[in-house]
Amino acid sequence: MSQVHPELQSDNNHQPSGLFAKALKTNNKTIWLFLLINFTVTVLHTIQAFNIHGRFESLWHIYYATSYLAICVSLIFNRKSYDEFISYFEREIGAYMSNDYIRKYIAKNRTLITIGYPYILTIYIIYGAYNTIVIYQQSQSYYRLIIQVFWNLFRTIIYLNHYVIIQFITECCLHAQVCFKIVEDQVESLKMSDSSLNFEEMQKIRQLYDVAIGKTRKLDSLLFWVLPVYYFTCIGTFQLNLIFIIYEYKPINLMLMVREVFALILLTFHIANINRLANEAFNQVYSLSYKVESIEMQNEMRFFFTRIRRGNVGLTILKIVLITPAFVTSFGTLLLTIALSIPTISREIEFKA
């Protein structure tokens, strides 16, 4: 850990690097068109597979596919908000990317995010293999077998587009987290220094904290409609597939439930981590208070503490509910309670029927 000054050359390593992020940054209409076609094909496939005997399930699948298409279109139309989010104090933040501590943090989290692709791909391949075997056993036709293999491969590719959106949101959250990690690193370097605190350095760190808050607010504006739509869709799909598994087990329902749980945990962790890192700065800054000597530095520390203690930094749902670790724990407990109560409720309904 070391003090780094913004005069140094900027590094863009901390910017979101996924397919969707690159398309927004470079204004690449080819990638936009490719993703929009993929999402549209998914919607058309769910409409074509509509089953009158399972109307609710079919309608939900149509809604699920349409919601991701709507999120994709919304983000493309709001690309100016994305540019504002990325470019906000970009040079000042990029100057700290030569720090090994920050680079390792980015690399570790980006690897975990990227693992989602082979993980979800494996789930689809396993289901595709199972589905192909079942079709062949029913038809005993090699022609149907070949058609089914190619169809499952095609369906696997187009359904991976959902994770493109998850990766984009998660990497945006990582970009905001990096700003708070820079603050943490700079405070730690001051704490380890043998010299007394310098007013200019302390003020620079407080300004970095304000930049991190500004980044988070711009990201919150970008995802204003995206997060509520995603959470409603993801949680609804999880609960629906859990009900189907209880009533009539099918591998497809288990696959979809596992997919949603993985994406939900990954995304929620990175969203709540922004608030955690913002609040963690209090203890880090407090550890510097023992080195304060002048009245000027005491006032600077007091301003810093006052801002951190407000605890209102993070992403929100419609700017109403702040997503914090405590909120995630409470909401997760509620979802688990509902999930565990479903078998009891279903038995009560069957008994009364």
pLDDT score at 138: 78
Give domain status of residue 223, yes or no. yes
Q: What is the count of structural domains for the chain? A: 1
Give domain status of residue 54, yes or no. yes
Q: Which two tokens stand for residue 9?
A: 């050359």
pLDDT score at 53: 57
**CA 176 from centroid of its chain's CA atoms:** 12
Give domain status of residue 14, yes or no. no
State the Cα angle at 227 between 221 and 229, rounded to 5°.
125
Give domain status of residue 220, yes or no. yes
pLDDT score at 352: 53
SS3 313: coil
Give domain status of residue 5, yes or no. no
Question: Is 266 in contact with 170 (CB distance < 8 Å)?
Answer: yes
* Closest of 287, 96, 279, 285 to residue 179, by C-alpha: 96
* Paired strand residues for 321: 317
CA distance linking residue 295 with residue 298, whole number of Å? 5
SS3 49: coil
pLDDT score at 98: 75
Question: Is 303 in contact with 284 (CB distance < 8 Å)?
Answer: no
Q: Which two tokens stand for residue 206?
A: 């407080």
Q: How many helices (H) and strands (E) does the chain have?
A: 14, 2
CA distance linking residue 141 with residue 313, whole number of Å? 59
Taking the C-alpha atoms of 30, 33, 34 and 39 in order, what is their torsion angle to the nearest 10 degrees?
160
Residue with structure tokens 């690399």? 107
CA distance linking residue 349 with residue 257, whole number of Å? 24
CA distance linking residue 286 with residue 189, whole number of Å? 14
pLDDT score at 5: 47
pLDDT score at 349: 57
Give domain status of residue 6, yes or no. no
- Domain assignment of residue 295, given as a range: 19-352
* Paired strand residues for 322: 316
CA distance linking residue 253 with residue 130, whole number of Å? 13
Question: Is 132 in contact with 152 (CB distance < 8 Å)?
Answer: yes
* Residue numbers of the chain with a pLDDT score lower than 50: 1-2, 4-10, 353
Per-residue pLDDT tens over the stretch 5-36 = 444 444 566 778 888 988 888 888 888 888 88
Give domain status of residue 11, yes or no. no
* Closest of 89, 100, 301 to residue 190, by C-alpha: 301
pLDDT score at 8: 42
* Closest of 105, 313, 345 to residue 210, by C-alpha: 313
Give domain status of residue 203, yes or no. yes
